[in-house]
Amino acid sequence: ILEIIEHLVICERDVMPGLSDPDDLVPKRKNLKDRMLFRLVMALLRLPIPIRTPSRGMVPRGKKSIDELRAMWDQNHEWLRSYVAGLDRSGGGGEVFSHPVAGPLSTEEALRMLDVHLTRHIKQIDRLEKSA
């Protein structure tokens, strides 16, 4: 379960643009292939089948404590709240998030993907707890 939590935390960091200053973010161009891959990734995440992580950076190493992971999780979400609050003021953003398979993501797409991904792993944790 700790490795699943680590995976969730490091995936967020991989998709978010390095927790950079939002003013430094440059939107990426999205094409038809990216749109189709986003839909495919979202569909796969909803299925209860094993899926390989799309990048090495998303593979947990199992060396972080729950306290370290909680601090990282909090930092991820603090950055995300700050970024979204900045969008409310500027009204922009574009595709500044990036997934290794689905490509450039808008804020809405990134949040939807993070939600589906979290739900997938909550179900996985539930299954592990029931089998223990």
Note the pLDDT tens digit of each residue in 41-52: 999 999 999 999
In this structure, what is the dihedral angle of CA atoms 19, 102, 111, 78, given to the nearest 10 degrees?
-10
Average pLDDT, the chain: 91
The string of pLDDT tens digits covering residues 53-106 is 999 989 999 999 999 999 999 999 999 998 888 886 655 678 999 999 999 999
Per-residue pLDDT at 110 exceeds 70: yes
- Rounded Cα distance between 56 and 80, Å, is 23
